[in-house]
Amino acid sequence: MPEISRRRALTAAAALTVAAGAQALAVSASAAPATSAGHEEHTGHTGHDEHTGHQPGSPSAFDEVYKGRRIQGRPTTGGGHHHEHGGGYSVFVDGVELHVMRNADGSWISVVSHYDPVSTPRAAARAAVDELQGAALLPFPAN
């Protein structure tokens, strides 16, 4: 029986580590504790929240006009690398996707306000509108 080389052993160990890490990440993402994020106060906006059909702990959908800009957010299904960071949630400003990411502590950041974490995707959309100061949100190329 041929002996296994050090290179093959290290390659196999690396592959197992990556597979185990990916599985642990998937398990931890599906077992994330439900929070009250997304159940913020619903007064003072012109949109309508959908409270059905979303995952427990997942923010509810929204569609509103904030400071003259239409902001929308909704849970997403399906794959794609850039959707994984958004925790299965998409946000749009005037129809252009605002890339958002959910942090480990449950807060959200966007590509526009990356250093100012907020509690919900709606707050991330509003912060982006504030930061844009009337400028158009340009599409962000996915890798």
CATH of domain 34-143: 3.30.1880.10
Mean of pLDDT values over 4-25: 68
Instruction: State the Cα–Cα distance between residues 32 and 29, nearest whole angstrom.
Output: 5
CA distances from 51 to 42, 45, 135 (A): 12, 16, 31
**According to the model, what pLDDT value does residue 142 have?**
63
Taking residue 78's Cβ as centre, other Cβ atoms within 10 Å add up to 6
Mean of pLDDT values over 31-45: 43
Whose CA is closest to 63, among 84, 42, 37, 79? 42
pTM of structure: 0.57
**According to the model, what pLDDT value does residue 42 have?**
39
Question: Cβ distance 109 to 116 under 8 Å?
Answer: yes
- Using one digit for the tens of pLDDT, what is the confidence trace for 63-119? 999 999 999 999 987 654 444 555 689 999 999 999 999 999 999 999 998 899 999
Residue 131, token pair as written in the block: 């930061």
**According to the model, what pLDDT value does residue 101 have?**
93
CA distances from 38 to 6, 61, 108 (A): 50, 9, 11
